[in-house]
Chains A and B, each alone.
Chain A
């Protein structure tokens, strides 16, 4: 609480600091006295227990590197505002590299600015870069469905009703893929498991997320997970209803001290420090990187009180298998409409491009896309 006390000393200190800041404002490279300045833009608050927090935690790791200064802006909408925020980091803070962390930042904002600022490197957190795009732009991505698969394994051994609940934002490719992989993980250890899904329709809609969670619990689901920007509401609501939970994006373990099993988390720090190392070494940066457990791009949250020893053992084994390249989509797998996705005895590679275009749910998922 000491920080919040106003004393004459604090006042003098802060105004003096202000005056000092004022005096140095003329220097354009104030924020980057030495080394490399990297700018990171977030679409929401940095403490959202979700997507933005996962990036912000990695930014902290990045900031601990010697000679790296990180400048951050949160809650920047996917409008001209993000273009100007990035440009401001370049013009006023002398940033040499920008991480744009929200999907809608890419087209047209990152692409246009990359063309305008050829000396600055831009990387965007979704698999969107193509050969036609500027060479100083690029994409990085973690295949989170691998971590959701491991969640599913743990969840499959934690349910007694065999009904798992999934609160999902929008029925788009990455979300559908996570749902499918979660079910495949559960089925691996519990062939009777089903996943009931409710789409809220928006990335962040706390009221509907709470309603969806309650509806799933009322429908006998006893393990709940989700794919929304900030899983806080889902996890807390489920914990309040006394069911178990699996997390998403960042660690929600502190939110559910009783029922938290594990969670699917990105590990952006691997990617960010990798770029910084390449820049420091003068190496050209890759335009497109994407990986899962194999390159430490995704991880599972540390097990919570909801994880049984059997679930922990099975989840650890499943993670090791995926890391070694064992396919998640091993046949026979049917789509919801009864058509064959993967035939018996066949399988899809974990990085099969077909899975990037996922526009279906598999058999065993209750709930429809439309």
Chain B
């Protein structure tokens, strides 16, 4: 770099700086993943199991066959939506972990609003109303989190988590009470929307349309957060709340809208669980996608575009869990241990950004 001419210097160093900074965002998570894999291998060796076989089965169960890919995609699609529920508020500096609650409320609202319509409404109307209901329900649910944060200063992490428990109680209360379908005496559920009203699969696959929707929403929200004044203002707020207020940004509105968008995304995950998989609301709606979504979002560093591959990656880990259990005789918690390791190491790696000279330019060129 010492040889570059004066005129070329600004351009080149700028490019190099950009490259170096981007490289950091790739190398750091990759290193974190590698370290997780190494630690997990040691864990397996202690159990007397072969890490080689584990990772081979992980590959085969998640990505090795067309069936495995479809299995992975099915598990990834709710994760994209619930990860967005973490990623969007994260841009404003908020750590929202109760996406599962918004998913539950979204799914419940979709199933509940369908009940009086099943007998007469055509499919497109029924599904249309269900989509809107789930987005609104999820949006309001997370909107509450944003509102108590902004107006009363309540910690959004705690409030969103506690609201999750309330959401589950609301679901159970209605599903086991007023909205219970009496034809099913043993598993309390709402009335099924009927096979003919369910969202089908992408042609030629077993994967429902929620996957495509999740990918599109990730792309749309990436542009909203990175290429619009709203997204810019949101990121300013996340960077420095007081500065944003001093600039006259409508901080309260930004927090509320971001939380509502986040909740709507998770609520739509609930919609797809109802309309594409269960056909009715019951306790099975609460399956932990909201919590895995936290991991996805952190792994993606809250970048909506990166959420797509990360969700597929974690979907693949989940998809391979069964095969690993069966072939290696390991308990199901094994895969959870791997996920937990990745999460902790990744969080620690977050603190190391900017600490390594290799990613920095020399003082003189900056």
Contact = CB atoms under 8 A, between A and B. Distances in A.
Interface of A: 3-4, 6, 10-11, 14-15, 17-19, 21-22, 25, 31, 45, 71-81, 84-85, 87-89, 91-93, 103-104, 108, 126, 170, 172-174, 201, 357, 359
Contacts of B323: 88, 92
21 contacts: A14-B44, A14-B53, A18-B50, A18-B56, A21-B53, A21-B327, A45-B331, A45-B332, A72-B326, A74-B325, A74-B332, A75-B332, A80-B277, A84-B75, A88-B67, A88-B323, A92-B323, A103-B186, A103-B187, A104-B187, A174-B186
Interface stretch (B149-157, B232-240, B279-287, B304-312): B279-287
A201 B172 contact: yes
B176 interface: yes
A77 B284 contact: yes
A141 B48 CA distance: 38
A4 B48 CA distance: 7
B325 A84 contact: no
Contact of A14 (B50, B65, B188): B50
B47 A4 contact: yes
Nearest to A80: B277
B60 interface: yes
Interface in B261-303: 273, 277-279, 282-284, 287-288
A88 B322 contact: yes
Contact of A22 (B53, B61, B287): B53
A21 B50 contact: yes
Given A18-B53, A75-B333, A92-B323, 16 more contacts: A3-B47, A3-B48, A14-B51, A14-B53, A18-B50, A21-B327, A22-B56, A25-B56, A76-B322, A78-B284, A84-B75, A84-B322, A88-B322, A104-B283, A172-B188, A201-B172
A170 B56 contact: no
B326 A10 contact: no
B185 A89 contact: no
Nearest to B186: A172
A85 B320 CA distance: 9
A4 B46 contact: yes
A11 B172 contact: no
A75 B330 CA distance: 12
Interface of B: 44-54, 56-57, 60-61, 64-65, 67, 71, 74-75, 172, 176, 185-188, 273, 277-279, 282-284, 287-288, 318-319, 322-323, 325-327, 331-333
Contacts of B50: 14-15, 17-18, 21
A14 B326 contact: no
B287 A79 contact: yes
A6 B284 contact: no
A12 to B, nearest CB: 10
A181 B50 CA distance: 50
Contacts of A87: 67, 71
A71 B324 CA distance: 11
Nearest to A90: B67
Contacts of B273: 79
Contacts of A174: 186
B209 to A, nearest CB: 14
Contacts of A92: 60-61, 65, 67, 323
A103 B51 CA distance: 35
A173 B188 CA distance: 11
Contacts of B172: 201
B68 to A, nearest CB: 8
B114 to A, nearest CB: 16
A10 B52 contact: no
Contacts of A88: 61, 67, 71, 322-323
Nearest to B336: A75
Contacts of B47: 3-4
Nearest to B71: A84
A192 to B, nearest CB: 32
Contacts of A84: 71, 74-75, 319, 322
In the A-B complex, the 10 residue pairs with the smallest Cβ-Cβ separation, listed nearest first, are A18-B52, A18-B50, A18-B53, A14-B50, A75-B332, A78-B284, A21-B53, A71-B326, A85-B322, A79-B287
A341 to B, nearest CB: 17
A22 B55 CA distance: 10
A66 B74 CA distance: 37
A18 B273 CA distance: 37
Contact of A21 (B45, B56, B71, B176): B56
B322 A6 contact: no
A359 B188 CA distance: 13
A84 B279 CA distance: 17
Contacts of B45: 6, 10-11, 14
Contact of A73 (B71, B74, B288, B325): B325
A95 to B, nearest CB: 10
B75 to A, nearest CB: 7
A18 B51 contact: yes
B203 to A, nearest CB: 16
Contacts of B60: 25, 92
B169 to A, nearest CB: 9
A255 B47 CA distance: 27
Contacts of A75: 332-333
Contacts of B185: 172-173, 357, 359
Nearest to A112: B195
A358 B323 CA distance: 39
Contacts of B61: 88, 92
A22 B52 contact: yes
A14 B329 CA distance: 14
Contacts of B48: 3-4, 10, 14
Given A4-B47, A77-B284, A108 B279 contact: yes
Given A18-B52, A84-B74, A88-B323, A79 B277 contact: yes
